Amino acid sequence: MWRVMRSAAANLRRTRQFSVAATIPGPCMVHKRGADILHDPWFNKDTAFPLTERDRLGLRGLLPPRIVSFEQQYARFMDSYRSLERNTQGQPEGAVSLAKWRILNRLHDRNETLYYRVLIDNIKDFAPIIYTPTVGLVCQNYSGLFRRPRGMYFSAKDKGEMMSMIYNWPAEHVDMIVVTDGSRILGLGDLGVQGIGIPIGKLDVYVAAAGMNPQRVLPVMLDVGTNNQKLLEDPLYLGLRQPRLEGEEYLSIVDEFVEAVHTRWPKAVVQFEDFQMKWAFETLQRYRKRFCMFNDDIQGTAGVALAGLLGAVRAQGRPLTDFMKQKIVVVGAGSAGLGVLTMAVQAVSRMAGANGIPSNHQFYLIDKDGLITKERKNLDLSAAPFAKYPEETKGLREGASLVEVVRKVKPDVLLGLSGVGGIFNEEVLKAMRESDSPRPAIFAMSNPTLNAECTPADAFKYAGENIVFAGGSPFENVDLGNGKVGHVNQANNMYLFPGIGLGALLSGARLITDSMLQAAAECLATYMSDEEISRGVLYPSIGSIREITAEVATAVLQAAVAEDLAEGHGEVGRKELRCMSKEETAEYVKRNMWFPIYSPLVHEK
């Protein structure tokens, strides 16, 4: 458990060419002809339709005569993207990001194959546009940006209709669903129906990183109203104009949706995303023993944070088992912060061994009212296991402030999942200089950029140059002068959710268990070489997200097999999965990862 890969092995893996040859799709059946094909982004090839297909599909005369290759189309798109970048230099960042999102979104609407190819090849550049942080801005402006619908919308007004509505979705097969109710979009709060941008962005990452087939993914918005007064008063707002449903009324909507999905696509994996804390925990508890689902903010985030925390131990030159001694201050007792602490405690008890006494002594939890102790009035049930007994507080009082806690505890790690920009201020960061760790770690994981607890520049400036740093949104590395660079990691659940979803899907498991999630976290934690870790590099580059996702999916699938939960997927049955070696499992995963190239289209009536 928690073995650290030898650096040579990790490097070898990194240099291995990632094979896409096996993913070349065969002919693709299309039930449309003529202009209907050109207007369908799944099938459209624009000017790249060869003459034979133009004849066969009734496209002759509907396109200019010259046939342009995929490579030429690709180059033309990238040229226009780069010229947009040049022409908008110096303009406000938000406006530029939205312009970039628009040009990508237009391509998405027109030609999915080309869109996903440019996305995969340029994921490092494009992830911040189609995903965090720009996706946050898109959600905030969604009603104004809306041109064409994407995904499905189930509203409180659809009660009793969902079982039939689900059949309105045009695709026969759906493998992966990301659903939100828009109640806690990143650190931006309740954005109602406008939160649909998040499932769309997450599923784009699924296609790019996990090779999910875009014809088989479904973003979903459950619109149960909004408590965002500004949106309710906005004449352009596209969602229900009513306060959020609560209690049983709310749950009956989610229940109906989950049942409808399960009836039509019993094997689909469902990811719950950006639900406010009470519903995030409630729905996870309610469905995880019945359906193949997980909550990304609780469980995906936990695995990514744990991998980073273990990396921070290695960066101190200590053995992994020293994780049990690390003093960690978690700021934010919401779905993400509590998810992280829950998984960290599980890791500590595994390390302590079967007879070890599970301990959370070294963890300190802070929320908007300060340090959480057993003396807290109306202590939230989910935070209770992490509340400090009086004898554990080092003399700190209930509700002690963040800076008081940091000064007194001298933590090895300060981890923010509060959604509050800038709360790791100069005073707090300077207090981290007194940390007991030779290499303190600062994780400012809240999204989007302005909601990060601090910037990396401030962290290196005030807490010292020897820190290890991770943000949740992408930031540039920091120039420390004298040729030294402060490496900036992105501790974002995108390193795990695509592999969790893909591994679960390909295993055919009916549930996503703690062991499967632990396998995902372990895989990420052991991915980096000692040399990388010593430079403060805790996570792989986004550029290799497809490789890490394939490994995570393999680990998840193997864990499902080990628990005898893997029932098989498509042609590959339970028995075959059980007989596969690790290498064969990895090959099976890669073989099933979709890669965008134009397939020959064959018309079928």
Ligand X SMILES: O=C(O)C[C@H](O)C(=O)O
Ligand Y SMILES: NC(=O)c1ccc[n+]([C@@H]2O[C@H](COP(=O)([O-])OP(=O)(O)OC[C@H]3O[C@@H](n4cnc5c(N)ncnc54)[C@H](O)[C@@H]3O)[C@@H](O)[C@H]2O)c1
Q: Which residues pair with 365 in a beta bridge?
A: 330
- The reply to whether 223 sits in an annotated binding site is no
Of the pair 440, 472, the CB lying nearest ligand Y is at 472
Name which of ligand X, Mg ion, ligand Y, none residue 387 binds, using a CB cut-off of 5 to 8 Å depending on partner kind: none
Known binding residue 492? Answer is yes
Binding site annotation covers 493?
no
- What is the closest distance, in whole angstroms, from the C-beta atom of residue 586 to Mg ion in the complex? 28
Q: Which of 81, 100, 142, 202 is catalytic?
A: 202
At 510, is the secondary structure helix, strand, or coil? Answer: coil
**DSSP 8-state symbol, 178:** E
Residue nearest to ligand Y (CB): 334
**Closest to Mg ion by CB, 181 or 274:** 274
Asked if residue 273 belongs to a known ligand binding site, the reply is yes
Cβ atoms of residues 187 and 447 within 8 Å:
yes
Q: Return the DSSP state at 358.
A: P
- Measured from the CB atom, the residue of 393 and 493 that comes closer to ligand X is 493
Q: Distance (Å, rounded) from C-alpha 537 to C-alpha 531? A: 9
In the bound complex, what is the minimum distance in angstroms from residue 367's beta carbon to ligand Y?
A: 3
Q: 115 an active-site residue?
A: no
Nearest distance, CB of residue 229 and ligand Y, angstroms = 18
Quote the tokens at residue 317. Answer: 């030159």
Q: Reduce the secondary structure of 28-48 to three states and give it as a string.
A: EEECCCCHHHHCCCCCCCHHH
Q: How far is residue 239's CA from residue 183's CA, in Å, rounded to a whole number?
A: 13
- Which among ligand X, ligand Y, Mg ion, none contacts residue 97 (Cβ within 5 to 8 A by kind)? none
Among Mg ion, ligand X, ligand Y, none, what does residue 367 contact (CB within 5–8 Å per kind)?
Answer: ligand Y
CA 347 to CA 435: how far, in whole Å? 23
Tell me whether residue 131 is one of the annotated catalytic residues. yes
Give whichever of 471 and 503 is closer to ligand Y, judged by the CB atom. Answer: 471
Q: 59 or 423, CB closer to ligand Y?
A: 423
Q: CB under 5 A: which stretch of 60-68, 105-113, 219-227, 272-280 binds Mg ion?
A: 272-280
Closest CA to 215 of 24, 19, 30: 30
The entry of ligand Y, Mg ion, ligand X, none that residue 366 binds, CB within 5 to 8 Å by partner kind: ligand Y
* Contacts with ligand X, residue ranges (CB under 6 A): 132, 186, 274, 296-297, 447, 472, 492-493
In the set 81, 116, 131, 588, the catalytic residue is 131
CB of 249 to ligand X, least distance (A): 25
> Smallest distance, Å, CB 373 to ligand Y?
15
**What 3-state DSSP class applies to 551?**
helix
Residues that bind ligand Y (CB under 6 A): 184, 186-187, 277, 297, 301, 304, 331-337, 366-368, 417-420, 423, 445-447, 451, 472, 491-493
CB of 452 to ligand Y, least distance (A): 8
- Segment holding 489, helix H or strand E: strand 488-490
| Residue 446: both structure tokens together | 């809240």
Q: How far is the CB of 135 from ligand X (least distance, A)?
A: 7
Question: In terms of CB distance, is 105 or 393 closer to ligand X?
Answer: 105
Whichever of 280 and 329 has its CB closer to ligand X, that residue is 280
Choose the one of Mg ion, ligand X, ligand Y, none that binds residue 293, judging by a C-beta under 5 to 8 angstroms depending on kind.
Answer: none
How much of the chain is in helix, strand and coil states, percent to nearest 5? Answer: 50, 10, 40
Site string for Mg ion, 278-307 (x = CB under 5 A): -------------------x----------
Structure tokens at 547: 């490789």
- Report which of 385, 376, 375 is spatially closest to residue 343, judged by C-alpha positions: 385
Least separation, in Å, of the C-beta of 521 and ligand X? 16
3-class secondary structure, 185: coil
Strand partners, 388: 373
The residue whose two tokens read 């996903």 is 116
* Closest C-alpha among 303, 298, 323, 301 to residue 312: 323
> And the tokens for 22?
């096996």
Which residue among 53, 190, 223, 274 contacts Mg ion (CB under 5 A)?
Answer: 274
* Residues 529 and 11: beta-carbon distance below 8 Å: yes
Coil vs helix vs strand at 153: strand
Q: Which residues pair with 569 in a beta bridge?
A: 572
Is the Cβ of residue 308 or residue 440 nearer to Mg ion in the bound state?
308
| 8 Å CB contact between 459 and 443 | no
What is the DSSP code string of 394-453? TTPPTT--HHHHHHHH--SEEEE-S--TT-S-HHHHHHGGG-SSSS-EEEE--SSGGGSS
- CA dist list (Å): 564 to 139, 284, 554: 41, 22, 15
* Residues contributing to the annotated binding site for a divalent metal cation: 273-274, 297
* Residues contributing to the annotated binding site: 184, 273-274, 297, 447, 492
* Contact residues: Mg ion, CB under 5 A: 274, 297
**Which residues are identified as catalytic?**
131, 202
